[in-house]
Structure 1
Amino acid sequence: MNSAEIWKDIEDFEGLYQVSNMGRVRSLDREDAQGHRIKGKVLVVSSNGKGYRQINLWQYGDVKHKFIHRLVAIAFLNNPNNLPEVNHKDENKANNSVSNLEWCTRLYNMTYGTRIKRVAKANEHPIYVVTNSGHHYFFDSTKKAVELLRLDGSNVSECLHDKRKHHHGFTFEWAV
Structure 2
Amino acid sequence: MVAARHDRPAPRLAARPPRHRAAALPAARARLLQRGREDARRAAQGVGTFPPLPSGDPVDLSVAAFTSRAVYDSDRSLKGRTVRLTGFVTHGDDGAWYITRLLVSCCAADATTSKVELRGADAPATDAWVTVTGIWRPKGRLGSSAAWPPLLDAKEVRGVEEPSNPYEQR
Shorter-chain TM-score range: under 0.3
TM-score by length of 2: 0.21
TM-score by length of 1: 0.20
